[in-house]
Amino acid sequence: MQPVDILYLSDRMNVNNSDIPDGVAAVLKELRLVDLDSGSIYFCGLLRVGCRLIVFLPRNNAGSSEPADRSAYYLLRALVRFYRTRDSGMRANDHGTMVTGGESLSLAVALIEDYLASGLYVRRARVRTTNNGKTNWPRTIARNTAYPSAGGPVYLDLSTTRTHYSTDCMTARIHALVMREVLSAYGMLWLGRSNVVDRRLVGMPTPAGTPAAWIRHLGKELQLSYSERDIFLIRSLIAYLEKEKGTARGPLLVGVKMFHGLWEAMLDECLVGKLTVNDRLPVPAYRTTDNKVALVASKGQRTDTVLQDSGMQHIAVIDAKYYDARSPQSAPGWPDLVKQFFYQQAIKHLYPRTHISNHFIFPGNGEGNLKTAFVAERDSKPADTSNGPLGYGPIHCHYQDPLALLRLYATGEKLANLTRQIFNTGAAMPSATSPRVSDP
């Protein structure tokens, strides 16, 4: 396994940034990971070019206390969890949130975990022996001479069997070859170690023949296998060879082009006190020419996350926004604000006696960024304190360190502090009141 040089970059950085090595920019453009208008890279995940592995971490990670190498470790685990547990296939593909290379990554991880638990494949065979192993009495009686004795017949030669274990067989060699490739591609990040060289794998000879011949051999081996582990392993090896050896090999690419889907999923999973309301929100309705009313539930309102405090007196409507949001110009616009106001009104209809607050959550650490979003009259000025509210409540802005969120999501932990901050901030201002333009 060749040593891998790891470079850490960020999603949404410009493709002409001096930190990007020569030749990598061309690969990014060829893979259509660069927005042609802005020159920004739209990708979060892993890209391998030759012996160089490039990790694109989420945007706005500057100032994070999380080490880059550990964040790459958690990013890989977050991608696997997102691929396995979310609808990140056909529906997500329309929005660019499908995990590119997700099937290969999931399969590689399954092979790594199996190898760590059970080691290299071992062929088990029952070998007939004499006086060495488990006695086969029917065969002994049928084939050997019995000598009379006071206690009954005595057999001087016993037909026995022993289990023979072979680690140098065709299947083991194929397994070793696949594991060398998998560990070379993913081992450093998945295992969180700087060295993943395994001497047991290095010492195994390369299997003779072609990948097609290996697949045929594994198919025959599968028919003779009975243990659950052997069946799982052989099927996984066949799937790997069919997928990875059947097409021309290009740069290894695993990740998401549009990270907002994973951003929403991680926040939804890690925030505390989720309230399920999407199946109760209003849906579009159409009256047809024959005077029938058709409801389109699949196109109804769908919130990112809704939280309810432990006292059931405060509901927070959360919109996970993967925006830069370091200035008003890079923050959500009118359509995003209107959507939140409608969510708030719809949930207010379901819970008329409960305080409802609105919230955006952006990636970052929040220093000097946005506090609230609200609707103001067009001619309002910062010094003007005479403009009254327009009836829309504020949308409170929060920032979450994206690298810390990767760690929490990958390890199954919760955002207790952010949840507490959301309810404290949302309770500070009644939702029926909008801040004046002069508010600090």
pLDDT tens digits, one per residue of 362-382 = 999 866 688 888 887 777 665
Tokens describing residue 193? 């170690």
Tokens describing residue 84? 């396995």
What integer is the mean pLDDT of 208-226? 89
Whether the per-residue pLDDT at 79 is higher than 70: the answer is yes
- Note the pLDDT tens digit of each residue in 264-314: 999 999 999 999 988 888 888 999 998 888 888 878 788 889 999 988 899
Are the C-beta atoms of 293 and 334 separated by less than 8 Å? no
Tokens describing residue 436? 């004046």
Q: Is the dihedral of CA 355, 361, 367, 368 positive or negative?
A: negative
d(CA 377, CA 370): 19
SS3 236: helix
pLDDT for 390 equals 59
Structural Rg of the chain based on CA atoms = 30
| H/E run at residue 85 | helix 68-85
pLDDT for 410 equals 93
pLDDT for 49 equals 81
pLDDT for 434 equals 38
Tokens describing residue 296? 């389109």
d(CA 209, CA 191): 31
Tell me the residue ranges of DSSP E strands in 79-190.
123-130, 134-135, 146-147, 154-155, 159-166
pLDDT for 299 equals 81
Stated pTM of the model:
0.79
pLDDT for 417 equals 94
What integer is the mean pLDDT of 13-27? 89
Least confident of 46-50, 231-235, 339-343, 349-353: 46-50
| Type of residue found at 193 | R
Long-range contact list for 383-388, CB < 8 A, 24+ apart?
Answer: 383/438, 384/437, 384/438, 385/436, 385/437, 385/438, 387/436, 387/437, 388/436
Length of the chain: 440
Given the structure tokens 């990958």, which residue do they identify? 410
Q: How many CB atoms lie within 10 A of CB 437?
A: 16
Higher pLDDT, 97 or 306: 306
* Cα dihedral 127, 131, 134, 135 in deg (nearest 10): 110
Tokens describing residue 427? 């309770």
pLDDT for 94 equals 44
Q: In Å, what is the CA distance from 217 to each residue of 18, 143, 179? A: 49, 35, 18
Least confident of 45-49, 167-171, 257-261, 400-404: 167-171
Query: Which parts of 124-198 fold into alpha helices (H)?
Result: 137-143, 170-182, 188-191
pLDDT for 249 equals 55
pLDDT-derived band at 92 (thresholds 50, 70, 90) equals very low
Given the structure tokens 């990875």, which residue do they identify? 244
Higher pLDDT, 66 or 380: 66
Spatial CB neighbours of 278, under 8 Å, sequence gap ≥ 6: 300, 301, 302, 303
What integer is the mean pLDDT of 251-270? 91
Higher pLDDT, 418 or 192: 418
Convert 120-135 to b/e letters by CB count within 10 Å (16 or more is b).
Answer: bbebeeeeeeeeebee
Higher pLDDT, 133 or 361: 361
pLDDT for 99 equals 85
What integer is the mean pLDDT of 196-223? 87
Write down the mean pLDDT value for the chain: 82
| Three-point CA angle 255, 101, 172, nearest 5° | 125
